[in-house]
Chain A
Amino acid sequence: MRYSYFPGCSMKATGKAYDFSINYVTKKIGMELLEIDDWNCCGATAAHSVSADLALGLNARTLALAEAQYPDLEIAVPCAACYSALRSALHAARSSKEKLAKIQDLIEMPYEGKNGVISFMETFSRPDAMKAISENVVVKLDGLKVACYYGCLTARPANIAGPDDVENPMQMDDVVALTGATPVDWAFKTECCGGAHHVDRPKAALPLIQRILQNAQANGADAIATACPLCCLNLDMRQLELNKKQGTNFNIPIYYFTELMAMSMGANPKEIGVQTHFFPAVPLMEKYMVKGGSAV
């Protein structure tokens, strides 16, 4: 279990709890992450909105660095937007010799499109990782009902993201189930959270959050697990805003799925940053960690 690691820009800032919990879990289960030296931003929606070549170039540079530094390793990516952008560039590089030559010219570096790009949902749902996770669970989160939220870009476009199922992916559900929590069946797993429009079209993007929270609540979820710093921030920060502005009464703490894993492995919520969420997320965890008790 060794991967080269592309953290992405949010991981040191608003996505801190994702970073802490990934470090905690990977150390516990003996998964080695080697950060790509001098990686750059994937460009997110901004780059491909302006020019396809720009998105291609920015991501190909990082892929080429990874290929040179860790030629035998797949690249593990925590953020859905980075994942999608890197996979798109890889897809282009592998699509034809002409495209590859164009990429090489753009980044002025050798690059062959050798290394795969995978999400942390995938690294953790591989059989050896699943086994190691199960062996390290010390506190079962029994009774905690979790809506696993995948968002857009780990599921779509299907030929780029390569999900196990476009409408009903299960990788995160399978990993979360190892913690003892119960993933709920719900309809908004891959609905869009509004992404960057929460800055540039905030009023138009707010109903997207409301619908996702509503559906999770209607299906009995106590919490939502996410696999992307932007999805997490949007659902988390806007929940309080909705309750205030729309008079809704949502009470659904938002976590990174890796936080649930870390806590089931005995992490103290504060050491992995659970207190950094906008919507208070520590109390629910404390409740279930006590309730579940020690399982192993």
Chain B
Amino acid sequence: MEICLNTPEVTLAEIGAIVDRAHVELHKCYQCGKCTASCPMAHAMDMTPREVIRHLQLGLLDEALHSKAVWVCASCHTCSARCPNGVEIAHLMEVLRQEARKRNIITVKEVNKFANIFLFNIRNFGKSHEVVLCALYNVLSGHLFQDVGTMPHLLKHKLIFFKPHVVKDKAAVRRLMDKALKGVDKA
């Protein structure tokens, strides 16, 4: 296969490293499509989960990394649970997302932005703070008025609060985050 598509050795090695990290054996996928049939987000994908695997089987790493699918995947793991041949597709999507992020290939900016703001919250408070999360997201994503209609209900029932709960040992949380994120691009 790699001969007819003439995939460079270096790309094959990269694909090998990715599938190893995801504990996936590509040859195990026989393209039955059950993953795609089970995927609740497939309707919003430009490349279905089955096609993502097919691209990797054919050595087309760059195409797979540029798909919106890796960002649209909701990590629900239905594909992996139903795969008749035990391919960990959800895990593969996750490793591809990490890899795309590292290479700064961000095809769905909002998803990456939301993750960044979520982690910003943890870095600052040690806990997730819903008001900061959604307010920052709306401002930074440009979707200024998204879900603002829910505010009166949230305020009336005190479902949101403005003073964040903070962990006592903030430094410990920060330290472990820095350590874990060493070498990961802050896309």
Taking Cβ atoms with an 8 Å cutoff, the residues of A that contact B are: 9-10, 12-14, 16, 38-41, 43-54, 56-58, 61, 106-108, 152-153, 155-158, 166-167, 190-192, 194-197, 199-202, 204-205, 207-208, 211, 237, 273, 275-276, 278
Q: Is the interface of A mostly helix, strand, loop or mixed?
A: helix
Closest 8 pairs (CB-CB, A-B): A192-B76, A204-B44, A46-B118, A156-B77, A53-B180, A46-B115, A200-B114, A152-B76
Q: Of residues 132 to 187 in B, which have CB atoms within 8 Å of A's CB atoms? A: 133-134, 137, 141, 146-147, 150, 153-154, 157-161, 165, 167-169, 172-173, 175-177, 179-181, 184
CB-CB under 8 A from B77, the residues of chain A are: 152-153, 156-157
State how many angstroms separate the Cβ of A15 from the closest Cβ of chain B.
9
CB-CB under 8 A from A16, the residues of chain B are: 157-159
Q: Of residues 91 to 141 in B, which have CB atoms within 8 Å of A's CB atoms? A: 91, 94, 97-98, 101, 108, 110-111, 113-116, 118-119, 121-122, 126-130, 133-134, 137, 141
A46-B118, A54-B180, A58-B122 known; A13 and B161 CB under 8 Å? yes
B57 within 8 A of A: no
Q: Are A204 and B122 in contact (CB under 8 A)?
A: no
Q: Is the interface of B mostly helix, strand, loop or mixed?
A: helix
Q: How far is the CA of A94 from the CA of B40 in the complex (A)?
A: 32
A13-B161, A191-B40, A199-B114 known; A51 and B179 CB under 8 Å? no
Q: Are B97 and A14 in contact (CB under 8 A)?
A: no
Q: Say which size band chain B's interface belongs to.
A: 35 or more
CB-CB under 8 A from B88, the residues of chain A are: 157
* Other-chain residue from A196, A200, A237 in contact with B150 (beta carbon distance below 8 A): A237
Jot down 9 A-B pairs with beta carbons below 8 A, ordered by A. Answer: A14-B160, A48-B75, A53-B180, A57-B176, A108-B175, A157-B91, A199-B146, A200-B141, A201-B44
CB-CB under 8 A from B128, the residues of chain A are: 9-10, 41, 44
A38-B169, A54-B177 known; A275 and B157 CB under 8 Å? yes
Q: Are A40 and B173 in contact (CB under 8 A)?
A: yes
Q: Are B81 and A166 in contact (CB under 8 A)?
A: yes
